[in-house]
Amino acid sequence: MKTSSPREEKSVVCSSCDIHCLLTAEVVEGQVVKVRALEGNPVYHGNICMKGIYAPKGFASPKRIQYPLKRIGERGSGQWERVTWDEALDDIAKRLQAVVAEHGPEAFGVSTSQWNTSVDHGLGRRLMNLMGSPNWISGVALCAGNTAAINRMVYGWYPLPDFFTTQCIVLFGHNPRRHSWTPIYNMIRGRQAQGAKLIVLDPRKSESAERADIWLPLRAGTDAAMMLGWCKVIFDEELYDKKFVEKWCVGVDEFRQRLEEYPLERVAEITGCDAQQIAAAARLYATTPAACIPWTPITDQQANSTSAIRLQCTLRAITGNLDAPGGDVLHGYNVDVIPESDIEIHGVLSDAQKAKQLGSDTHPAFTYRGQAKLKEPTKKVWGREYANLVTGCYMANPTAFFRAMEEGDPYPIKAFFILGNNPLMSYANMQRIYAGMMNQDLIVAVEHVMTPSAQLADYVLPGDSWLERPNLCETYGWTRWSMPSEKAMEPPGECKSVFWFWCEMAKRLGYEEHFPWDSQEAFYDWRLEATGKTFAEFCKSYTMRYPILDYRKYEKTGFATPSGKVELYSSVLDELGFDPLPYYREIDIEQEEFPLQMFMGLRDNEYFQTGHRHIPELRKRRPEPEFFLNAKTAAIANVEHGAWAKITTKDGSVQAQVHIREDMPNGLVRVPHGWWKPEMEQGLGKLSGAWAMADAQITPDDEHYLDREQGIPHLKGIPCRLEVIATPEHAGGDIK
Ligand SMILES: Nc1nc2c(c(=O)[nH]1)N[C@H]1C(S)=C(S)[C@@H](COP(=O)(O)OP(=O)(O)OC[C@H]3O[C@@H](n4cnc5c(=O)[nH]c(N)nc54)[C@H](O)[C@@H]3O)O[C@H]1N2
Ligand SMILES: Nc1nc2c(c(=O)[nH]1)N[C@H]1C(S)=C(S)[C@@H](COP(=O)(O)OP(=O)(O)OC[C@H]3O[C@@H](n4cnc5c(=O)[nH]c(N)nc54)[C@H](O)[C@@H]3O)O[C@H]1N2
Ligand code: SF4
Ligand SMILES: [Mo]
């Protein structure tokens, strides 16, 4: 069936990564032949990267899974048979019920993707909460979701930079580029062209650092120490906003006392930066009116993550940039749209089941327990008890989750659903995740391609793509922006939406009355009721809706924290038994056998995370995984440009090709994230090259490397060694 007339255009929101560019899809005889950047939107126009451009090609790939597949051999044997959706869903429901009957609803665990919000809109949580399982995890535990949860502890919401008028931008590592988070890149360049200052903190002379007014080449993993230094300069030199701090901050004296432990000389020593440069950067940020600190994953992925995120919050507050024009603005709920936090109905999950959420005893920050004290204040200030910003505020801890899968401790997870996520490679300790997955009664993956994780499933179900479904994108419930996306073409074969999958599961599990929508459009009509428009009308009248921002709303309501103020001393962390003040903990353990340091990240332009490697046009541009290091480091390790090498840590090894780049500092190696090769042999022992290339094998999850409060892993600065290897058998793969 064709959805469209011979030639037309549709307004779509790209979900090939998590930044949501507005695009125009050109449709010919029901097929999208091209997507291009939307022009003319005053806020968000002219943005597209190569992943977006090649998305239609990717969705037409012969590697695309088009029919439900059921495992028939041993787990991971690669033997599948095609079944109907009904057969698959009936059997899945039956087996899930058996797991729940034997082990309780908490034995049902779900892992979803970063852009989950654009596929399931909270329906997965809704069903889990009705069933009684708190065990939901996502990539947002290492990226933005955890930041949102920690921001709530300090001032009750997660702010967005006011990019349109800001005069100073501080990037902690964050390095948007032409092909990485293109809209943020364009907004930063636009503001710089208007004279805004740029401060970049990055061990490497990144593309952003090249353009910065001040570049601080700090040692990997030392961002929290750096910010303690900035705060000390700002207080000592009285550069803070005295009125705001006096009236709206609590714990100032205790915090200032903590800062006494971080004189500039000590901070310079820890970070490896020049003391005067550190002070100059702090001064520039504090004295430029309208300065912002955009979100960055770099501080989401460190052993000191909670402290680093809190210190960013603190900097925004003490300089008067919080909820101020050109600073970092607390949007609050989007009044146009029923938020996902409501759809998820967290209130129906009993306290007893919430208390079972994995990891909430040891690393509670983003679990129900960690966020519980914010319920009342959030209701008071923002009108609702549960604010699941960036879907990251009520998660299980991934390490505890996979331990429960592997060891059954403190209780087992036995049914594992994967919705558009490649969990084997997207958390820490792949070896443990693998053991946990091999120990399941039921694994279901809704996917586009046969990922290493899907290879271990009982059912692999064909997912639709963002060109093949409508979407109402409300930017993770974090901002007031909303963007509708029209369905531009029919999905191939029997590909279906995750939305539909959850509705069908609910039907079979006896929760149909809570899922009353007979189409995704009907669901959006309901969510948009407050606007007086249907989804179809909304699509026609807006490419993006961005209500006018109001500032300093706290003057009327206070902040959504227990004290109603900005908590420099955290009453929430105090009650949970953690240090209520931010601190820096050294994790670099000097070891003779590991003379170098590595970090994971610096995303490849061509791919989003572990995906996209099946698209020939993109693979041609970057055929192999690459370690980046400078010539001096290469000489020490005795490796040459183009050679194959392996990085070894205490946890294992991964292989890649050596790429010598002078932007890298001495002794530091970049390890690429998420490599596997879809053309390579599938199944146990191989997993399409994941055992050779995936960085999750050397992402540690032992206590020393985990952030204490959140329990997320450290990806920035891990001791390692580098050695040449013979050309491995996975080199030079080809995707047709
Ligand atoms: N070890 C380690 N772990 C990490 C990171 C790291 O650097 N190292 N990075 C972290 C970060 S920053 C992030 S953002 C997260 C990312 O985590 P995720 O967002 O979960 O990304 P992936 O794990 O690559 O999984 C995405 C999968 O979704 C599939 N997919 C794409 N579109 C659709 C769709 O429309 N429908 C369906 N059903 N499936 C689809 C793709 O084929 C792909 O396999 O990972 C985090 N985890
Ligand atoms: N093409 C493409 N674009 C993407 C993605 C993708 O997969 N592909 N993923 C998207 C997602 S989900 C994310 S999270 C972002 C990530 O994108 P960014 O926020 O830009 O992060 P990275 O690209 O991982 O690395 C950014 C910089 O951090 C520096 N760095 C390394 N360690 C440290 C440290 O300890 N401290 C500091 N201050 N800096 C450090 C590195 O040198 C590097 O220059 O990219 C988004 N954009
Ligand atoms: S940056 Fe690229 S992949 Fe991400 S939303 Fe925009 S076009 Fe899509
Ligand atoms: Mo991310």
- The string of pLDDT tens digits covering residues 20-64 is 999 999 999 999 999 999 998 878 889 999 999 999 999 999 999
Alpha-carbon Rg for the chain in angstroms: 24
Instruction: For residue 252, count CB atoms less than 10 angstroms from its CB and return exposed for 0-12, middle for 13-18, buried for 19 or more.
Output: middle
Using pLDDT thresholds of 50, 70 and 90, give the confidence band for residue 5.
low
| pLDDT of 588 strictly over 90 | no
**Residue 383 DSSP code:** S
Q: Does the structure show a pLDDT above 70 at 137?
A: yes
> Given ligand 3 and candidates 23, 32, 51, 612, which is best to mutate, with the most ligand atoms within 8 Å of its CB?
51
CA distance 362 to 657: 39
On the CB side of 550, how many CA atoms lie within 13 Å of its CA?
A: 8
Over residues 309-323, mean pLDDT:
98
CB-based contacts of 40, cutoff 8 Å, min separation 6: none
- Res. 120 pLDDT band, cuts 50 70 90: confident
Q: What is the pLDDT of residue 117?
A: 64
Strands 69-71 and 80-82 turn out to be: antiparallel
> How far apart are alpha carbons 625 and 695 in whole angstroms?
10
pLDDT given for residue 702 in this prediction: 94
**Ligand 2, atom 5, residue with closest C-alpha:** 608
Looking at this protein, which amino acid is placed at residue 683?
G
What torsion do the CA atoms of 158, 164, 166, 167 make, to the nearest 10 degrees?
Answer: 160
- Helix residue ranges per DSSP H, 423-527: 430-437, 498-509, 520-527
Q: Is 223 a catalytic residue?
A: no
pLDDT value, residue 521: 97
Q: Are 402 and 390 in contact (CB under 8 A)?
A: no
Mapping DSSP onto H, E and C, the string for 197-249 reads EEEEECCCCCHHHHCCCEEECCCCCCHHHHHHHHHHHHHHCCCCCHHHHHHHE
User: Cα–Cα distance between 678 and 205 in angstroms, integer?
Assistant: 33
pLDDT at 487: 97
Q: Angle 416-419-424 (CA atoms, 0-180°, nearest 5)?
A: 60
Q: Which ligand is nearest to the CA of 701?
A: 1
CA distance 247 to 290: 20
Mean pLDDT on 660-687: 96
Query: What is the three-class DSSP state of 127?
Result: helix
Rounded CA gap, 71 and 73, in Å?
A: 6
CA distances from 528 to 12, 338, 482 (A): 18, 7, 11
- Reading the block at residue 393, the tokens are 């505020």
Q: Are 490 and 496 in contact (CB under 8 A)?
A: no
CA of 22 to the centre of ligand 3 (A): 9
484 contacts 539 by C-beta, under 8 angstroms: yes
Instruction: Report how far ligand 3's centroid is from the alpha carbon of 660 (Å).
Output: 28
- Residue 218 makes CB contacts below 8 A (sequence gap 6+) with 201, 202, 203, 226, 271, 272, 273
- Residue nearest atom 6 of ligand 3, based on CA coordinates: 21
Hey, whose CA ends up nearest to atom 17 of ligand 1? Answer: 139
β-strand partners of 460? 69, 445
Instruction: Write out pLDDT tens, residues 445-485.
Output: 999 999 999 999 999 999 999 999 999 998 888 899 999 99
Q: How far is CA 62 from CA 462, 616, 679, in A?
A: 13, 11, 11
* Percentage, residues of the chain above pLDDT 90: 93
**According to the model, what pLDDT value does residue 570 have?**
98
- Residue pair 103/351 in contact (Cβ under 8 Å)? The answer is no
Distance 121 CA to ligand 4 centre (A): 19
In this prediction, residue 504 carries a pLDDT of 98
Please name which ligand lies nearest the alpha carbon of 58: 1
Joined together, the tokens standing for residue 106 give 């908490």
In the set 18, 336, 342, 695, the catalytic residue is 18
pLDDT of residue 38: 95
The DSSP string of 670-720 is: EE-SS---TTSPPSTTTGGGHHHH-GGGGS--SGGGS-TTT-PPP-EEEEE
Q: Whole-angstrom Cα distance, residue 231 to residue 285?
A: 11
Task: Say how far apart CA 123 and CA 619 lie, in whole Å.
Answer: 34
Predicted confidence at residue 116, as pLDDT, reads 66
Inter-helix orientation angle 223-236/252-259, to 10°: 110
Indicate the SS3 state at residue 176.
Answer: coil
DSSP state at residue 381: H
Beta pairing, strands 653-660 & 668-671: unpaired
Neighbours of 9 (CB within 10 A): 14
Separation CA 125–CA 179 (nearest Å): 32
Using the atom order of ligand 2, give the atom closest to the CA of residue 177. Answer: 20
One-letter amino acid identity for 468? E
> What distance in angstroms lies between residue 601's CA and the mean position of ligand 1's atoms?
13
Mean model confidence pLDDT for the chain:
96
Residues at CB less than 6 angstroms from ligand 3: 14, 16-17, 19-21, 47-49, 51-52, 181-182
Closest C-alpha to 467, from 125, 44, 4: 4
Report d(CA 345, CA 161) in Å as an integer: 29
The ligand minimizing its distance to the Cα of 112 is 1
* Residues 398 and 358: beta-carbon distance below 8 Å: no
Looking at the CA of 118, name the nearest ligand. Answer: 1
Pairing of strands 459-462, 69-71: antiparallel
Phi/psi at 555 (5° precision) = -60, -30
Ligand 1 pocket, residues with Cβ under 6 angstroms: 113-114, 119, 139, 142-143, 297, 420-422, 426-428, 446-449, 451, 463, 465-466, 498, 600-601, 609-611, 673-674, 695-696, 699, 715
Q: Which two tokens stand for residue 199?
A: 């401060």
Q: What is the mean pLDDT of residues 329-334?
A: 94
What pLDDT, on a 0 to 100 scale, did the predictor assign at position 389?
A: 96
pLDDT at 560 over 80: yes
The answer on pLDDT for 4 being more than 70 is no
Residues with CB under 6 A from ligand 2: 17-18, 114, 143, 172-176, 179-181, 201-204, 206, 218, 220-221, 223, 296-298, 599, 601-605, 607-609, 716-717
d(CA 285, CA 198): 9
pLDDT band of residue 222 (cuts 50, 70, 90) is very high
Residue 689 has pLDDT above 90, yes or no: yes
Query: Tokens for 698?
Result: 């050397």
Answer for the pair 467, 56: CB distance below 8 angstroms, yes or no. Answer: yes
Query: Looking at the predicted structure, is the pLDDT value of residue 114 above 80?
Result: no
pLDDT value for 2: 46
Residue nearest to atom 31 of ligand 1 (CA): 420
Mean pLDDT of 200-208: 98
Cα 721 vs. chain centroid, distance in angstroms? 28
Cα(21) to ligand 3 centroid in Å equals 5
What pLDDT shows up at residue 564?
98
